[in-house]
Structure formats: structure tokens, C-alpha cells
């Protein structure tokens, strides 16, 4: 009798993405959303912009993802003195002798499959104009010849958003990034403790992924169907945003459809459901001042009210933990009772994958609170 062998996984590439997602999130503190955005962008063949102060783990995440990919890579920190040659390659002296202006692109952006551009707003006009076509059309003009760029993912980082009066070039470049997100410092008490007392936060990834596998994953993403409820939710969201004066361009709306499919795929779903529209909050806006917050509120209200409630309750948990002196038994008892009430509210929710994770986190904090109170006695 032959020994039993479990059936092979029907989605091995998706499982690889899921495993990497878990490993990145477990290593990087309070960067679950950023991990999801980068992996979703890779699945949807789009680009990501992360904006936040130095030291928030942006480079740590991006280095880990680039190491995970068995692909040609290119990284650069831009300054106002960076020249086009450093990004696109030097001009060929041999070609110049033949009256041709051709760049040697070996090891530069035009031959990269994944790239990281830091401080992107510091680029010169010449670099910006070239980037526009490379990022959007995956084409580089080299001596009059349109050369295909194999770029699968570009992630850029900056300490600030471009100013409203920065000009059309920067506005156009901002639009080339389908996913845009503000990255904030660690805010929770638990996260801060992990930061201070765990010395190694570099992700340890157990797999690698090839360009061929990424292309296969992209085909699988495009095949993920939309449920009627999700379609209706997206159309409702766009109408609600229009009433708020937010009308993302046609291209951004069109690309958001694939972005949501990619997020559903990353979450292991075989069909897009309304809750997967959560990722579109990073896509369906134009200006970074008040629009991102309004878009997030509209999407949460229409497509994922359970997720919005989970976020509110977790904020209450952090507020309770931050204001409680565990050495004061009366305060600790009051905090424990409050956390118990919040857990009951979480238990009453349904329809969102974050709920169980939030409940596990809450139980862990409640256990730590009680242990700290006992030790204080």
C-alpha cells in the first residue's frame, strides 16, 4: 500500500506570496499595510510611493523585497546633483564616433526588473521626463529607438509630498504611482517595546521568487472574478467620492480594478469581495492633502464597515494601554474590564479577516496587563 501524499497546492505561487507576506509582517513593526501595498503592486505590475520621515523602516522593507526577487535590480538615492547618466547609463563613446547618441544601459534603470528610487522629488527635469515614460509605458528612448523596459516594480520613497506649486512634472510623476501611502512612526505601546528590546528587525525570508513566477501570478490575478457585490460597491464608492469633489482620472480608476484583484489574490480569495476594495484607498485620489483621508472613510463606510469598526476598537485598546498604570491595581482592573468590553464588541462583528487577528492581539494584551499587575503586587 502506497503511503498517503497530500494533494499538491493548486496555487503554489500564491502560497509563496502569502508566506513572504507573513514573514515580512512578523519582522517589520506596524508595517502590515506597507507590506501589503508592495506585494499588491508587484502582483498588479504597478508602482508604489511611500512618504514618511527617516527611520520608519521603508528601506528595510524594500531591501527585503528586492532580495526576495531573483531579478535584475537598480537602486539610487537622488539628489539635485544626480545626472541622467547615473540613472539611465552613460553615453557610448563608440557610438559618438559614429555620430550616434546612444546610452550604455547595462546595470542601469532601463534594464532593471525591480528598482528603488529614494528621494524621488529631488530629481532633475531631465531625469523626471525620462522616468515618466519608463514608469508608465515601460519604454526608454535610446538614440531614437524605443527600447522595452522589463520593469516589474518600482518603489520610491520620500520624506515629503511634492508641494502643490511644484509644477506639472512632479504632478505627472506622482500620478505614475498607482499606490501612494504616508508612512508613520510606530505608535502602539507593544510596537515600541518590540522596537526597543528586540535588536534584529531584518526580515528573514525562506523563499525567493523568479520573474517567470511573477508573470504567472500576474496572469492569475487578472483571472480573479469580481462578485456583483464588489462591483456595486466600487461604483457606489466612485459616486460618493464625486459628491465629495474627488474624481480620480480614468486611468487611475481603470488600474484600480486590477489592484483590487491583486489584493484579493494576496488574501487567498478566489473572487473579489467588497472588503478587498480597502486597498483602493491608496489609489483613488489625486492630491495628498485631505483627499486620502476622505477616500479611506468613504471606502470603509461602503465596502468594509466591519474593518472600519475594528480599526476604531484597536485605537481604543491603544488608548487604554497608554493611559493605564499597571502598578495601580484599581486602574489595572478598570483597564482590564474595558478591554473585556472591547473584546465583546469585536466578537459581535463578522465578515472581515482582521477581526480574529484583532481579538488574538487583544487577548494577548489583556493577559500581559494581568501579569504585570500581579508582578507589581
The structural domain count of the chain equals 3
User: Residue 1 above 60 pLDDT?
Assistant: no
Query: Is the domain of 167 the same as that of 279?
Result: no
Rounded to two decimals, the pTM is 0.84
**325 occurs within a structural domain:** yes
Final residue belonging to a domain, choices 272, 303, 334: 303
Neighbours of 252 (CB within 10 A): 17
Instruction: Identify the bridge partners of residue 49 per DSSP, sorted by sequence position.
Output: 156, 180
Which tens digits make up the pLDDT trace of 3-54?
434 344 568 999 999 999 999 999 998 899 999 999 999 999 999 999 998 8
Rounded CA-CA distance 86/161 in Å is 24
Calculate ∠ Cα 312-18-296, nearest 5°: 30
Which tens digits make up the pLDDT trace of 193-246?
888 888 788 888 999 999 999 999 999 999 999 999 999 999 999 999 999 999
φ, ψ for residue 232 (rounded to 5)? -60, -40
| Residues 309-320 as b or e (16 or more Cβ within 10 Å = b) | bbeebbeebeeb
Which tens digits make up the pLDDT trace of 57-112?
888 898 899 999 989 999 999 998 999 999 999 999 998 888 899 999 999 999 99
- Domain hosting residue 259, numbered range: 224-303
Query: Is the domain of 232 the same as that of 319?
Result: no
Query: Is the domain of 290 the same as that of 338?
Result: no
Asked whether 74 and 62 are in contact (CB, 8 A), the reply is: no
- What pLDDT does 353 receive? 65
**Domain of residue 124, CATH code:** 3.40.50.300
- What pLDDT does 377 receive? 60
Query: Is the domain of 115 the same as that of 190?
Result: yes
**Domain of residue 266, CATH code:** 1.10.8
Please tell me the number of Cα atoms within 13 Å of 106 on its side-chain side.
Answer: 2
Query: Is the domain of 44 the same as that of 128?
Result: yes
Amino acid at each position: 500500500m502506497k503511503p498517503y501524499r497530500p494533494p499538491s497546492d493548486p496555487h503554489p505561487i500564491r502560497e509563496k506570496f502569502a508566506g513572504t507576506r507573513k514573514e515580512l509582517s512578523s519582522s517589520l513593526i506596524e508595517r502590515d499595510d506597507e507590506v501589503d501595498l508592495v506585494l499588491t503592486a508587484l502582483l498588479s505590475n504597478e508602482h508604489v510611493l511611500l512618504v514618511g520621515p527617516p527611520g520608519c523602516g521603508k528601506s528595510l522593507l524594500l531591501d527585503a523585497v528586492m532580495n526576495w526577487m531573483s531579478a535584475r535590480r537598480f537602486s539610487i538615492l537622488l539628489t539635485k546633483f544626480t545626472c541622467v547618466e547615473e540613472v539611465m547609463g552613460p553615453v557610448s563613446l563608440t557610438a559618438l564616433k559614429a555620430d550616434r547618441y546612444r546610452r550604455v544601459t547595462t546595470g542601469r534603470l532601463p534594464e532593471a526588473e525591480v528598482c528603488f528610487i529614494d528621494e524621488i522629488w529631488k530629481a532633475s527635469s531631465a531625469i523626471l521626463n525620462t522616468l515618466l515614460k519608463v514608469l508608465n509605458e515601460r519604454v526608454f528612448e535610446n538614440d531614437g529607438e524605443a527600447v522595452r523596459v522589463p520593469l516589474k516594480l518600482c518603489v520610491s520613497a520620500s520624506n515629503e509630498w511634492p508641494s502643490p506649486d511644484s509644477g506639472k512634472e512632479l504632478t505627472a510623476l506622482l500620478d505614475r504611482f498607482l499606490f501612494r501611502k504616508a508612512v508613520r512612526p510606530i505608535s502602539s505601546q507593544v510596537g515600541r517595546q518590540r522596537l526597543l528590546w528586540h535588536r534584529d528587525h531584518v526580515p528573514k525570508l525562506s523563499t525567493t521568487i523568479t520573474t517567470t513566477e511573477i508573470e504567472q501570478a500576474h496572469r492569475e490575478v487578472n483571472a480573479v472574478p469580481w462578485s456583483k457585490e464588489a462591483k456595486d460597491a466600487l461604483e457606489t464608492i466612485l459616486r460618493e467620492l464625486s459628491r465629495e469633489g474627488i474624481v480620480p482620472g480614468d486611468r487611475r480608476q481603470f488600474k484600480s480594478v486590477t489592484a483590487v484583484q491583486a489584493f484579493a489574490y494576496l488574501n487567498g480569495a478566489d473572487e473579489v469581495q467588497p472588503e478587498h476594495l480597502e486597498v483602493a484607498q491608496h489609489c483613488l485620489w489625486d492630491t495628498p492633502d485631505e483627499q486620502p483621508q476622505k477616500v479611506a472613510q468613504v471606502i470603509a463606510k461602503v465596502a468594509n464597515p466591519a474593518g472600519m469598526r475594528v480599526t476604531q476598537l484597536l485605537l481604543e485598546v491603544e488608548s487604554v494601554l497608554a493611559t493605564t498604570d499597571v502598578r495601580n491595581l484599581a486602574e489595572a482592573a478598570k483597564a482590564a474590564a474595558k478591554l473585556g468590553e472591547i473584546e465583546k464588541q469585536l466578537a459581535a462583528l463578522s465578515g472581515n479577516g482582521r477581526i480574529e487577528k484583532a481579538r488574538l492581539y487583544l487577548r494577548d494584551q489583556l493577559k500581559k496587563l494581568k501579569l504585570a499587575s500581579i508582578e507589581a503586587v
